[in-house]
Structure 1
Amino acid sequence: MSTAADRWAAFPGPTKVLAAARELLENGKTGPGVTVRVTLDAAERDQVGRILGMAWEASTVPVTLGRLRKALHGLDDTLEDLLVRLGGPLDDRVAKRELDRKAAQDHLNNAYAVLTSVGIPEHAVALARTRRWLEYTNPDLAESRAQALALLWQHLPAADRPLPELANSLFGNPHHLDRDADLGRLAARLLAAAHATDPGAAAAAAGTALSADAWRQLWASVGVSCDEVSATVLVLNLPLAGSGAPAAIAAAAAETGEPVWLTARSLRRAWEPGPGLHTVRVCENPVVVETAAARLGPHALPLICVYGRPSIAAWLLLEGLAAAGVRLLMTCDRDTAGQQFLTELLRLPGAVEWLAAADGVYEESRLPDLLADLTPAPLAGT
């Protein structure tokens, strides 16, 4: 049976007010001072004022829950009872949101637990949780990402497998672990963090994991190759020995004094410094190698060019030479970038700056000095 409140509620103005009041109550906003925010025209305000009173209707004050409750109480009704009669039970959206939040947190806890369960170090999983790697951009993907990472981890280290082949065998897509793929980026960060020895180092390693060289090094550390023919280093007359490809390639090129590019792939094969190789000069720019080859040919002293920031191929070669006790003479451009490269290179054991006293910001400015130093003593002055 319709009550006075029900009849009042049927008008457009009260309908707006009650709909807004329901929204407030369902979201836990129940205080008497809570404003019921609605836009009412003159006719609608007149309709609402039929129970709120002429004083309210003539004023400019908004409807509040307290004022609405008091008016309905005067009709022997309550706001909650009226709303239930009109639209069914009130939802407890606050409780529902809390349940949803707890369910989502449990879902994430389970996803990160998957990583720990396959042996990924706890400090790496902790970093992943702090950085929200699994739920990044889409929390719904956390579990599937965790399962994919767990599957990958269980197949590492791999036995000299190309990354696309590994991705295809595990996920049916050769590009699933690419550097621009979601899972590939996530896997690289997790690998970097896992290989670090402490949380601070893990965070730093993960932050640089997606650079081209760090990417190749990370996967190489677990037996996976990543387009290692694209990482190169330029050499001239560099005598290498051993059964691997670098020795054969370098020897063939040195016979004619021809510069040659060695790849990271070739430098992972067996090689060592050739007999009598005690010192190697290292430059930044290919023009030094090209000019030395043109003017000195096979007589030029051994020279390596890192071609800007050293690639993984350059590091493989230089670290191998340094570890074998070869003295490395380093030079780069003396601009900001070049000095950064030089600082990195001089960290190698036994490395010193090459012709530090020679004038010139760029290597091209010092080219006569560099060429003179690349000339063997018997040919000096010829």
Structure 2
Amino acid sequence: MSAAADRWAALPGPTKVLAAARELLENGKTGPGVTVRITLDAVERDQVGRILGMSWEASTAPVTLGRLRKALHGLNDTLEDLLVRLGGPLDDRVAKRELDRQAAQDHLDNAYAILTSAGIPEHAVALARTRRWLEHTNPDLADSRAQALALLWQHLPAADRPLPELANSLFGNPHHLDRDADLGRLAARLLAAAHTTEPGAAAAAAGTALSADVWRQVWASAGVSCDEVSATVLVLNLPLAGSGAAAAIAAAAAETGEPVWLTARSLRHAWEPGPGLHTVRVCENPVVVETAAARLGPHALPLICVYGRPSIAAWLLLDGLAAAGVRLLMTCDRDTAGQQFLTELLRLPGAVEWLAAADGVYEESRLPALLADLAPAPPEVLDPVPKSG
């Protein structure tokens, strides 16, 4: 302890230097070459120079921890002792940060362990951990999010329960699993990842899980319905058979050649291609259906309109037809969006482009060719059998 050092430390310039030095030491920066970064005016530099020496004061050299220690040693004192006398014990902020980091890591480990214990596949949990889903935006919520997801998992697969009803029964809020809700987005990604086995496929599935149509598919795979009356597909003269609502609706409309919208809900129940249904044409824009209905009525060949990007209803219908061996003739607008839709549609088994050689970017410009192809072929006229003499 040095009274001279204490008197020096009370001056404004040294006060600045020592405060900055404390900050450095508490953050583990203790080497002799460490610079104490402070701004001193001429008076303050003169005050600091009273122990660092005239040569330092006259120079432009910075204050370093090594210079401070050497100067205080000359006063029979140490930098650490002086700082303790002035401001109390030095905090070990490095150790504290490490403890905090380890505590946070343990907290996250426990949160992800909750998911595994709930029966969520390990590869899906591993993806969630890699993407930091539980701690996203707020690590403090990781545990509560994990608990909520575990509770949800215990009630899946559901027995065709509407998503709002399931959310309300589990969390007291019908919107808790909505697509724009934190838990809903987490759950959809986990469900999508869980339904695959390849890590790469799991990441890709989770990456698309929040698009409107995939969202419905993901929840449907777990027995949960998502507003399936708003997902629709337009059909004309499409003969479907079976006990489901879609078959009855399509059959009734086909009798009069009236276009009709089928919902995803109606297509969830038993249906199959009607007898003799081997080929179906598929377009993007309702104007093709509307014009075909007006000009050809019940005589138009079977036609489906996906109306832009195919909805879950469109995929349910097209997947079912393709699986039954129905040939699908596809066309869309030939702009960027339309070609993206067409590329997706042509991945279906047995799907080929409809009238690929017809000119025109938009379906409206190809409408005459499309309508001509939708008209049924005239019945074959047989030569009369000559009468015998």
* Length-normalised TM-score, structure 1: 0.96
Measured at CA, do residues 380 and 188 of structure 1 come closer, stay the same or move farther in structure 2, by a change above 3 Å? Answer: farther
Q: Give a deviation string over 1:86-109, Cα, whole Å, max 9, x none.
A: 111111111111111111111111
For 1:379, the equivalent position in structure 2 comes to 387
Q: Give a deviation string over 1:148-197, Cα, whole Å, max 9, x none.
A: 11111111101111111111111111111111111111111111111111
For 2:142, the equivalent position in structure 1 comes to 142
Rounded Cα–Cα distance in structure 2 between residues aligned with 1:234 and 1:16? 76
Rounded Cα–Cα distance in structure 2 between residues aligned with 1:278 and 1:77? 98
> Post-superposition, which runs of at least 4 consecutive aligned residues in structure 1 deviate over 6 A?
378-381
For 1:339, the equivalent position in structure 2 comes to 339
Displacement of 1:350 in angstroms is 2.1
Rounded Cα–Cα distance in structure 2 between residues aligned with 1:252 and 1:380? 47
Shifted more, 159-168 versus 322-331: the winner is 322-331
Measured at CA, do residues 161 and 185 of structure 1 come closer, stay the same or move farther in structure 2, by a change above 3 Å? Answer: same
The alignment covers a number of residue pairs equal to 381
Q: Give a deviation string over 1:16-58, Cα, whole Å, max 9, x none.
A: 1111111100101111111111111222112111111122122
Contact 1:17 1:38 in 2 (8 A): yes
For 1:196, the equivalent position in structure 2 comes to 196
Measured at CA, do residues 168 and 370 of structure 1 come closer, stay the same or move farther in structure 2, by a change above 3 Å? Answer: same
Measured at CA, do residues 316 and 169 of structure 1 come closer, stay the same or move farther in structure 2, by a change above 3 Å? Answer: same
Measured at CA, do residues 379 and 52 of structure 1 come closer, stay the same or move farther in structure 2, by a change above 3 Å? Answer: farther
Rounded Cα–Cα distance in structure 2 between residues aligned with 1:2 and 1:333? 88
Q: Give a deviation string over 1:308-367, Cα, whole Å, max 9, x none.
A: 221110110011112222222222222332222222222222222222232222211221
Measured at CA, do residues 380 and 74 of structure 1 come closer, stay the same or move farther in structure 2, by a change above 3 Å? Answer: farther
Rounded Cα–Cα distance in structure 1 between residues aligned with 2:388 and 2:373? 9
Rounded Cα–Cα distance in structure 1 between residues aligned with 2:193 and 2:58? 68
The alignment's C-alpha RMSD in Å is: 3.4
Q: Give a deviation string over 1:108-144, Cα, whole Å, max 9, x none.
A: 1111111111111111111111111111111111111
Q: Secondary structure at the match of 2:256?
A: coil
Rounded Cα–Cα distance in structure 1 between residues aligned with 2:110 and 2:221? 29
Contact 1:372 1:380 in 2 (8 A): no
- Structure 2: 5+ residue stretches without partners: 378-385
Contact 2:2 2:76 in 1 (8 A): no
Rounded Cα–Cα distance in structure 2 between residues aligned with 1:109 and 1:26? 29
Measured at CA, do residues 232 and 167 of structure 1 come closer, stay the same or move farther in structure 2, by a change above 3 Å? Answer: same
Displacement of 1:2 in angstroms is 6.8
Contact 1:233 1:262 in 2 (8 A): yes
Measured at CA, do residues 380 and 234 of structure 1 come closer, stay the same or move farther in structure 2, by a change above 3 Å? Answer: farther
Displacement of 1:208 in angstroms is 0.8
For 1:88, the equivalent position in structure 2 comes to 88
Measured at CA, do residues 63 and 153 of structure 1 come closer, stay the same or move farther in structure 2, by a change above 3 Å? Answer: same
Rounded Cα–Cα distance in structure 1 between residues aligned with 2:333 and 2:285? 8
Q: Secondary structure at the match of 2:328?
A: strand
Contact 2:241 2:274 in 1 (8 A): yes
Q: Secondary structure at the match of 2:209?
A: coil
Contact 1:4 1:75 in 2 (8 A): yes
Q: Secondary structure at the match of 1:106?
A: helix
Rounded Cα–Cα distance in structure 2 between residues aligned with 1:187 and 1:10? 60
- Structure 1: 5+ residue stretches without partners: none
Contact 1:189 1:206 in 2 (8 A): yes
Identity of aligned residues (%): 93
Contact 2:17 2:36 in 1 (8 A): yes
- Indicate whether 1:231 and 2:228 are aligned: no
Displacement of 1:379 in angstroms is 29
Contact 2:2 2:75 in 1 (8 A): no
Measured at CA, do residues 161 and 320 of structure 1 come closer, stay the same or move farther in structure 2, by a change above 3 Å? Answer: same
Rounded Cα–Cα distance in structure 1 between residues aligned with 2:154 and 2:387? 59
For 1:68, the equivalent position in structure 2 comes to 68
Q: Give a deviation string over 1:206-258, Cα, whole Å, max 9, x none.
A: 11111111100000000001111111100011111222111221122222221
Measured at CA, do residues 310 and 380 of structure 1 come closer, stay the same or move farther in structure 2, by a change above 3 Å? Answer: farther
Rounded Cα–Cα distance in structure 1 between residues aligned with 2:188 and 2:78? 61
For 1:216, the equivalent position in structure 2 comes to 216
Rounded Cα–Cα distance in structure 2 between residues aligned with 1:32 and 1:2? 21
Displacement of 1:380 in angstroms is 33
* Length-normalised TM-score, structure 2: 0.94
Contact 1:112 1:125 in 2 (8 A): yes
